[in-house]
Chains A and B, each alone.
Chain A
Amino acid sequence: MNRAKLLTIVMLTMMLGACASVPQQPVAFDAGAIAGSGNHVAIQMKKIPATDTTFPGAGCLMCIGAARLFHSDLSAQVQSLQPEDLNALPDRLAKVLRDNGAQVSVLDQPEDISSLPSNAAKGENQKLSEKDFRPLADKLGVDKLLVLDIRGQGVKRAYSSYIPTDIPRAYVSGIAYMVDLKTNTYVWYSAIETARPAEGEWNEPPSFPGLTNAYYQVQAETSDSLTSELSVNATKTSKASPLTETTAKVTQ
């Protein structure tokens, strides 16, 4: 078999494999996991991406250049905003878990999850983690690890090539989960996808008060929603099915 054929087969296999993989479904917080022994939880948050504007759908270099040019004032304002609520999230979740009986420590230096080996037992099981977290149990000396992974935050505006198709929206996206470091089982998994436009007009340079307000609103909504998922479920004594249809959403 020549190299070209081999490469084609490998590429096709990879593409079809990506299509076949099932996206991770939300897992409702299992309060029993932090009750009694085995309740030592470490919380880590990856470095939050810089606050910025983004233009999904502006698919060519000139489209991006035009979009950036139009929104230079907005970008300057957005870049000056600080993700206060997101920065405070580890401590806030730590308090909620402590109130529910867990021993909690917040890690100053987050572990590099991407460098962990894959979890061979994962398969189609939605309750098992993608990565093998077991090496971290001894390293950190804890039973569970709560990971906050904010992948984007700021203001986005949808484009179709050169044309804006929607008004700008403040947004936060990412995932949050807690994994049992001995069994690689998700104790909680929540997708974060929060977005909100300015109330009323948005084009108010130079300080863009409507969009600035929306920026802080989506952060507070994200923080409140995640806190609520842990606190509401943690107070339940019954163990309902840990797989639910809900997510940490909060889209408007």
Chain B
Amino acid sequence: MTTMGVSSLFQSCGRAIAGISLLAFVLAGCTTPTVKPQVRPVDAATAKRLDGSWVAVVGEDRVFPFNGEYRDSKAQNGYQMLYPASDFAGFLVGVATHAALQSAQNDAHLEAQRKISDEVLAPYRQVLDEIRVHEAFRRALQLSESGAGIDVAEAPKDTTAPQVTLAAHAIMAQSRRALIIDLVAKVRDPSIPDDTAGYVHKVRVISDPIEVNYHSANDYWLTDDGHQLKQTVSSLLAKAIDLFSADATRHLHSLEQKQITARYQYGNEQRRERAVLLEQSCSRQTLRTLRGWVLSVPVMDSLKGDAQCRSTDVATHSESPPA
């Protein structure tokens, strides 16, 4: 190969690298933002303080947030575009335009999908509007095992007791045969003035499956002015608070460190989660997800009738199944 040929090869490689770098720069603004770890467990000193009484700060009294389960099974379509340009700068403008159009299309798709997901709540809207945040937390604390020493407040109090900001929302399965409660608990470290640097625990509790068909589910939830719906929200929230309390005070320990792919019942479906097993009884499993959340799930129907399961319950932490 001649010297000229080698030089030309180097120039081509250089242009390709420069091109990819420029593209990376242009597209960097179009990519999904990075998400930081969602859970920051409390330190030993805070854990000890939470073992006593604490104040639950639940914010203003409003309608308890409820969503339909978000399901987006279809891959999104690409916005096809060619890049007719006379030079590299024009080409980059073409790519950036393509990215903007695709991003707008994806956002519109997400928004439309969210609206469709929430349609499952339509029959329950009147009852859901009656469930208020303060009342839901008060009821849940009455039902919870760890609620005895917990005071509910709208805003942080001037007190020496530890204060935990609790926020929860509920999700109804599209099958209408399961409810989910997500609880986010944020514990402020009094030694750190920055409010964003608190400890965060997340807990998800999935209800036992409702043994009715899709159309009968409305009757099940709405009978007696929606008693079953309100009661299930309270009991799941109570379970979530108990699990937060157990986790924050370090009473939840792994049965084994090895990760498993756990199977559980979600309404009329089987679901799976990669996690570490924390507790197991014949009716429920408690897991630590890869994101660090605590997840309480009903075991699969096929295991509930197991004779061995009935005789050898290996729960390490007593629990009463919600709902």
**A and B associate:** yes
Interface residues of A (CB under 8 A from B): 57, 61-62, 65-66, 69-70, 84-85, 158-167, 169, 195, 197, 201-205, 207, 209-210, 212-213, 215-217, 219-221, 224, 251-252
Chain A nearest CB, measured from B151 CB (Å)? 32
The segment out of B16-24, B156-164, B184-192 that lies at the interface is: B16-24
A158 adjacent to B75 (CB under 8 Å) = yes
Contact A158:B78 (CB < 8 A) given known A66-B27, A217-B274: yes
A207 adjacent to B30 (CB under 8 Å) = no
B24 adjacent to A160 (CB under 8 Å) = no
Query: For A161, A169, A217, A221, which residue has the most chain B Cβ atoms within 10 angstroms?
Result: A161
Interface residues of B (CB under 8 A from A): 16, 19-20, 23-24, 27, 30-37, 71-73, 75-81, 83, 95, 98-99, 102, 106, 261, 263, 270, 272-274, 289-292
A62 adjacent to B102 (CB under 8 Å) = no
In the assembly, what is the distance between CA of A201 and CA of B24, in Å? Answer: 21
B35 adjacent to A204 (CB under 8 Å) = yes
In the assembly, what is the distance between CA of A234 and CA of B99, in Å? Answer: 50
In the assembly, what is the distance between CA of A29 and CA of B305, in Å? Answer: 28
In the assembly, what is the distance between CA of A136 and CA of B64, in Å? Answer: 65
Contact A203:B289 (CB < 8 A) given known A166-B76, A251-B73, A252-B71: no
Residue of A nearest to B274 (CB): A216
Chain A nearest CB, measured from B105 CB (Å)? 8
Instruction: Give chain B residues whose Cβ lies under 8 Å from the Cβ of A158.
Output: 75-76, 78
Known contacts A163-B27, A213-B274, A213-B291; can you find 16 more A-B pairs with CB under 8 A? Answer: A57-B78, A65-B16, A66-B24, A66-B27, A69-B20, A158-B78, A161-B81, A165-B76, A165-B78, A166-B78, A167-B32, A201-B32, A203-B31, A209-B292, A217-B274, A224-B263
Chain B nearest CB, measured from A95 CB (Å)? 16
Instruction: Give chain A residues whose Cβ lies under 8 Å from the Cβ of B79.
Output: 160, 163, 165
In the assembly, what is the distance between CA of A160 and CA of B105, in Å? Answer: 13
Instruction: Give chain B residues whose Cβ lies under 8 Å from the Cβ of A202.
Output: 32
In the assembly, what is the distance between CA of A201 and CA of B35, in Å? Answer: 7
Partner among A70, A160, A169 whose Cβ is within 8 Å of the Cβ of B27: A70
B35 adjacent to A69 (CB under 8 Å) = no
In the assembly, what is the distance between CA of A14 and CA of B77, in Å? Answer: 31
Residue of B nearest to A205 (CB): B34
What would be 29 A-B contacts, judged by CB atoms less than 8 Å apart? A62-B16, A62-B19, A65-B16, A66-B20, A70-B31, A158-B75, A160-B98, A161-B98, A162-B27, A162-B95, A162-B98, A162-B99, A163-B79, A163-B81, A163-B98, A164-B102, A165-B102, A167-B76, A204-B34, A210-B291, A213-B289, A213-B290, A216-B272, A216-B274, A219-B261, A220-B261, A224-B272, A251-B73, A252-B72
